[in-house]
Amino acid sequence: MAPLLELELDQKTFPAAGEAPARRVLANIHLTLEPGARVALLGPSGGGKTTLLNLVAGLDADYAGRLTTAEPCRIGYVFQEARLLAWRSVRDNLRLVAGAGAEDAVERLIVEVGLQDAARTYASRLSLGMARRAAIARALVIEPELLVLDEPFVSLDPATAMRLRLLLLDALDRRRTAMLFVTHELGEAVMLAERIIVLAGEPGRLQGSFAVALGPAERRDPERVDAERRALLPRVTAAMGESAAIRSRTAC
Amino acid sequence: MAGVIRGPTRLSEGRPAAATAATRVWLPPALLPTVLSFAAILLLWVVAAGIAQNPRLMPGPGLVMERLAEGWASGDLQHHLMATLARVAAAFLLAMSIGTAIGILMGRSLLADRLGQPWLLLFLNMPALVVIILAYIWIGLVEAAAIFAVAINKIPNVAVTVREGAKALDPDLAQMARVFRLGRGTVLRHVVLPQLYPYIAAAARSGLALVWKIVLVVELLGRSSGIGFKLGLFFQFFDVASILAYALAFIAIVQLIEWGILQPLDRAANRWRR
């Protein structure tokens, strides 16, 4: 099968700004996403994960390399901060991206993420957890070929984060949408992805690729997820290399 | 607005007269200073007219109200009020839309900003009177020249204010719009304009005040209708009472627009804020 998306990146450099010199953030990355593939991109904070995501999403064209996408390749992007239009209701936020004639899809997704009581609420009045749900619904309502998520569950309390992970898992199981998911938590990556790739180093390179052999039911079982996480931990840690900060973060 | 405020009575159970009296006359305490201040203006006027003892030069409120009633009864006041309001509306809408467009362009594009800066400097510092005279000379003593002259005076202010807003547009939302492939019209209407709203509202507020003052000058110099034209006539007859009557009528109308149109619009546009 032809890949949905293929990125052959020679290098990505941030130009010098003020006192800071130019910095090469990413180098020699070859990333291929098959249709329906679920991939987690794991790496330390500030390691270029979001930069790589923006390259994949076509938001940043300033790099040396080549990006090939299948047609169609609609991308639903869930940003770290929800980036909703604060002055529009949840429903209108979905309608705007879904376009005309998608009323049914909008209503279905509002129900799917459990926001039916907040459909008419201004996005400015949503709690963090509700805003993230709305952002996930907005990304799914366009029926994307690829769902891109940038640490969408950080700074949520553990219970809410777990509810949202399950919600995302359910939503993915109902669709044949590929997913590229950025996180710095191995447990989260294990639960949601079939393949974990590690981005680390200076400049960032792909340091390893690990298959997660869990069935749909096992992903919803915290003990199975934790066992798999512990099994993967030494190899992932080794791939991440010398950074002690990374090790402590992925270990907890 | 607030209606009857019952809070203070409950708060000041032990306190006598003042608070209870205020609630009894159904006046929100917040409005009391405003009302008192209006009363002071009226009082000052009556006293000044009493001292002057010359109704021709310093007519009292009674005489001015009489002129107002006469103007209304003859239909003259309404006719000229409407003429002026129509010009204000046309010039205001023209200035707001062109000024907003220029402001967005200059705020988004560094090149446009640099190209536009000298023009802004020129027109910001150009006296309104010069624009009006030149417009009448070059275009002629016609309606289009009048409205054009007023709009030209206002456009740079709108552009400068909106440009600040356009510079502060959220790049995160622009990225979101790009990745979800929102159309240009959708982006303008749902992403850009709501962010610019506070700046546009500020420009509109100061704009209305400026525009209607300049419209009167335009009418005085080259139109045969409108409040400005009438004020010119009254000036020739030294009819101070009529000057005050027409001016007051116009002030009242402008305030009604503020209360009846601008403030409700503002509330509607700001409803989403926490």
Per-residue pLDDT tens digits for B227-260: 999 999 999 999 999 999 999 999 898 889 888 8
Within a domain: B49: no
Strands, sheet with A178-183, edge to edge from the N-terminal-most edge strand:
A75-78, A146-150, A178-183, A38-42, A195-200, A205-211
Per-residue pLDDT at A243 exceeds 90:
no
Residue B270's pLDDT is what? Answer: 86
**Which ipTM was obtained for this model?**
0.86
Residue A242's pLDDT is what? Answer: 53
- Tell whether A222 and A155 lie within a shared domain: yes
Give the pLDDT confidence of B61-84 residue by residue, as tens digits: 999 999 999 999 999 999 999 999
> Which chain A residue's Cα is nearest to B178?
A59
Domains: count for chain B:
1
Within a domain: B1: no
Q: For residues B180 and B185, what is the distance between their CA atoms, to the nearest angstrom?
A: 14
Within a domain: B217: yes
Q: Do B274 and A125 touch (CB under 8 A)?
A: yes
A122 neighbourhood in chain B, CB within 8 Å: 271-272
Interface list for chain B against chain A, based on CB atoms closer than 8 Å: 172-173, 175-176, 178-182, 186, 190-191, 194, 271-274
Last residue of a domain, one of A143, A176, A191: A143
> Which chain B residue's Cα is nearest to A79?
B176
Give the pLDDT confidence of A1-50 residue by residue, as tens digits: 688 888 988 889 888 888 888 888 898 989 999 998 999 999 887 788 89
Cα–Cα nearest to B159, from B170, B148, B169, B151:
B151
Residues A189 and A146 sit within 8 Å (Cβ to Cβ): no
- Tell whether A167 and A104 lie within a shared domain: no
Mean pLDDT for A111-127 is 92
Within a domain: B208: yes
Per-residue pLDDT at A159 exceeds 70:
yes
- Tell whether A177 and A243 lie within a shared domain: yes
Neighbours of B92 (CB within 10 A): 22
Residues B194 and A109 sit within 8 Å (Cβ to Cβ): no
Mean pLDDT for B75-95 is 94
Segments forming the whole domain that contains residue B73: 68-273
> Which chain A residue's Cα is nearest to B187?
A96
Residue B136's pLDDT is what? Answer: 95
DSSP conformation letters of A49-73: HHHHHHHHTTS---SEEEEEE-SS-
Cα–Cα nearest to A180, from A73, A66, A65:
A73
Per-residue pLDDT at A248 exceeds 70:
no
Q: Helix %, strand %, coil % for chain B, to 5?
A: 80, 0, 20
How far B198 CA sits from the closest chain A CA (Å)?
13
A81 neighbourhood in chain B, CB within 8 Å: 172
Token pair of B195 as six digits: 């962010």
B272 neighbourhood in chain A, CB within 8 Å: 86-88, 122-125
A79 neighbourhood in chain B, CB within 8 Å: 172, 175-176
For B237, the enclosing helix (H) or strand (E) is: none
- Tell whether A116 and A209 lie within a shared domain: no
Mean pLDDT for B117-137 is 94
- Tell whether A87 and A67 lie within a shared domain: no
- Tell whether A190 and A213 lie within a shared domain: yes
B176 neighbourhood in chain A, CB within 8 Å: 77, 79, 83
CATH code of residue B244: 1.10.3720.10
**Which residue in the set A74, A81, A124 is minimally distant from B172, CB to CB?**
A81
The lowest-confidence range among A193-197, A211-215, A240-244, B16-20 is B16-20
Mean pLDDT of chain A: 88
Give the pLDDT confidence of B8-56 residue by residue, as tens digits: 334 444 444 444 444 455 677 888 888 999 999 999 999 999 998 888 8
Mean pLDDT for A197-204 is 87
Q: Do B180 and A77 touch (CB under 8 A)?
A: yes
Residue A82 phi, psi (nearest 5): -60, -30
pLDDT band per the 50, 70, 90 thresholds, residue B268: confident
Domains: count for chain A:
2
- Tell whether A107 and A171 lie within a shared domain: no
Best A51, A83, A147 member to test B by mutation, with max B CBs in 10 Å, is A83
- Tell whether A215 and A171 lie within a shared domain: yes
Give the pLDDT confidence of B155-183 residue by residue, as tens digits: 999 999 999 999 999 999 999 999 999 99
- Tell whether A243 and A160 lie within a shared domain: yes
- Tell whether A24 and A132 lie within a shared domain: no
Q: Do A87 and B186 touch (CB under 8 A)?
A: no
Residue B154's pLDDT is what? Answer: 93
Token pair of A95 as six digits: 């309608």
Give the pLDDT confidence of A130-144 residue by residue, as tens digits: 999 999 999 999 989
How far B183 CA sits from the closest chain A CA (Å)?
9
**Which residue in the set A54, A96, A123 is minimally distant from B186, CB to CB?**
A96
Give the pLDDT confidence of B188-221 residue by residue, as tens digits: 999 999 999 999 999 998 888 889 889 999 999 9
- Tell whether A95 and A138 lie within a shared domain: yes
CATH code of residue A13: 3.40.50.300
Segments forming the whole domain that contains residue A214: 5-74+150-251
Residue B183 phi, psi (nearest 5): -70, 165
- Tell whether A100 and A169 lie within a shared domain: no
Per-residue pLDDT at A93 exceeds 90:
yes
How far A122 CA sits from the closest chain B CA (Å)?
6
Within a domain: B37: no
Q: For residues B149 and A222, what is the distance between their CA atoms, to the nearest angstrom?
A: 73
> Which chain B residue's Cα is nearest to A57?
B179
